[in-house]
Structure formats: structure tokens, C-alpha cells
Amino acid sequence: MSVEITLPQERKQLRSYVSSEDNHFVYPGEVITDDAGFMKGHGTFADTGDRLSASVAGLVERVNKLVSVKPFKTRYNGEVGDVVVGRIVEVGQKRWRVDIHTRLDSILLLSAVNLPGGELRKRSTKDELLMRSYMVEGDLVVAEVQAAFGDGSLSLHTRNLKYGKLPQGILIKVSPSIVKRCKTHMHNLTCGATVILGNNGYIWIGPLMSSEVDLSVRISTLVNVAKSDREVIARLRNCIVALSTYGVLLYDTSVTYAYDASLVHDVKDLCRPEVQEEIVDITRRNLAQQHV
């Protein structure tokens, strides 16, 4: 039996290369500001006097005079236009119910999806009978939030050809608060894999897909994925888990930096805490240097 022994090393200080910002972490009840000129936002409450305190643990965000606290762990609150990854949980009458990490399941109407071949026509009774040939329980789908209702439920659509049923891949669940809002959340990385960073905290990793591929046309037959592609997918998965464990914002640049830093280690070693800390440290340093 072999035993691995790691010698102790001095922990690196991030303050030496991370610029100081106004954002800071707070705990419930901590005073954020004593200035009466600020307005309270989500996650804050007016304390005695003119003090503004935090009601949740999270990161303080300031937009002009509006102060809010973004919690570390929370359910996803959808906004119109968000790109989300979800799992079909029920096939109903002219609609699918989708789990996207919200309090209530979201709705994907039959009229809000592209038929095979990208046909644009009115849905008929025949289309309703064929719903299970399009998507069934357990299928993963990437969609866009079309509308938000008062009870917190969301309506989705996949009318754009880049949305629809997802093929084979890996699904990772992280906190929605660490997924950075960007112009695009679907990335074909240079390492040879496609990553979809859902605003809802669901992240899908799969083989490289062409931007011209219609995701609404996906056969259910399983295909063999090359070993090299599986290794890339597994490495990306472990890198994203490491970044989410240490609270690093997830977007294409941070994921790429983490992947490049992990190449000196085997895929299985990326699950070790000391290796994860090293990769996260290098990623944060590169991100900080990028913004200098």
C-alpha cells in the first residue's frame, strides 16, 4: 500500500496581487454603512438610527446610492433573457415542466420550441401526441427565460436554433451567485469542449459542438465519446468544482485559466484539496493581472 505525503507549504497571500474593491463580505446583522444617503436594497434593512445593516451573509454590491447584499447560497431568481440549463421533470398537456433550480418548476410550452428541422408553423394535435419524441423526463435542455410570473415561476422558450435539447455531457450544480452575467453563456473552449454556464447555476460540459448545429434536432441514440474528449470534459468538471468551492466567479476566462493551470496534474489529482487550492490561486492571480 502506497501513502502520499505532502510537505507543508506557506499559504500564499492573495492581497499582494488582488486589488482592493468597495465590495466586501458581511454577515447577518453587520453594519454596512452609517451614511443616511444610501438606499436599502435586497439583503439589507434599516437598523437603529441611520445605519444600514445586512440581513443575509454575502457580498455587498453598490449601484450609485443603492446598497444590496448578494447572498452566497440562494435559489435562482430568474430574469427575462437569462440563459438557463434545466432538466425535464414532466411531460404535460402542450407543455414540459423543467427543473432549473427555482422554487417552482418552470414551463416550456410546445408553442415555444422549434420542431425538428426548424419548422415554424402552428402546433397541431399531432405535434402534441409526438411531444415525447422531442423530449422526455430526464432530458437536459438549454433555454432562455421568456417571462417571469408573480408566484416566482418562469416561462422558457427554445425558439432560437442555439437552444434546445442537449446531447451527452456532464451537469454540474453550483451556486447561481458565482456565475458571472455575460453577453454569452455558451462557449466553445480552445481545449476542445463546449461549456454552457447557466445563470441558474446549472453548468453543462460536453464534446465540442459547432455553432451551426441545431440543438433542437438531437437524436436520443447514445454515441461513443472519444477517450480524449472524456478526459477534457472530466478535467473541466474538476476545475469548475474547484473554482466554485473557493467562490471564484465562473465565466469563460476564469474556466480557461483554471484549465491551463491544471495541465501539470493528472485529472484524478484535481480532486485533492491542496491541488485545488493551487489551481484557484493561479487562476486568481491571472485574473488580477488581466485587470491591471
pLDDT band for position 231 (cuts 50, 70, 90): very high
C-alpha to C-alpha distance for 104 and 102, rounded to whole angstroms: 5
Separation in Å, CA 45 to CA 36, 50, 76: 12, 11, 21
Residue 242 neighbours by CB under 8 Å, 6+ apart: 258, 270, 276, 279, 280
Better-predicted residue by pLDDT, 279 or 118: 279
CATH of 14-71, one of 1.10.3720.10, 2.40.50.100, 2.60.120.10, 3.40.50.1820: 2.40.50.100
Q: Give the model's pLDDT for residue 13.
A: 56
- Is residue 163 within 8 Å of 216, Cβ to Cβ? yes
User: Which of 209-213, 244-248, 270-274 is predicted least confidently?
Assistant: 209-213
pLDDT digits (tens, 9 = 90+) for 135-192: 999 999 999 999 998 888 899 999 888 899 998 899 999 989 889 888 899 999 999 9
Q: Give the model's pLDDT for residue 272.
A: 92
Question: What does the domain layout of the chain look like in residue ranges?
Answer: 14-71, 83-290
Q: Give the model's pLDDT for residue 23.
A: 52
Q: Give the model's pLDDT for residue 77.
A: 85
pLDDT band for position 291 (cuts 50, 70, 90): low
Q: Give the model's pLDDT for residue 215.
A: 57
The DSSP symbol for 20 reads P
C-alpha to C-alpha distance for 209 and 117, rounded to whole angstroms: 18
- Is residue 270 within 8 Å of 239, Cβ to Cβ? yes
Q: Which CATH superfamily is domain 83-290 in?
A: Nucleic acid-binding proteins (2.40.50.140)
For residue 171, what is its C-alpha cell?
Answer: 451537469
pLDDT band for position 18 (cuts 50, 70, 90): very low
Q: Give the model's pLDDT for residue 20.
A: 41
Give the CA radius of gyration of the chain: 22
CA-closest candidate to residue 38, choices 5, 61, 11, 6: 61
- Shared fold status for 14-71 and 83-290: yes
In order, the DSSP letters of 173-189 are E--GGGB---S--EEEE
For residue 239, what is its C-alpha cell?
Answer: 476545475
C-alpha to C-alpha distance for 114 and 217, rounded to whole angstroms: 9
Single pTM value for the model: 0.81
Q: Are strands 66-71 and 83-91 parallel, antiparallel or unpaired?
A: unpaired
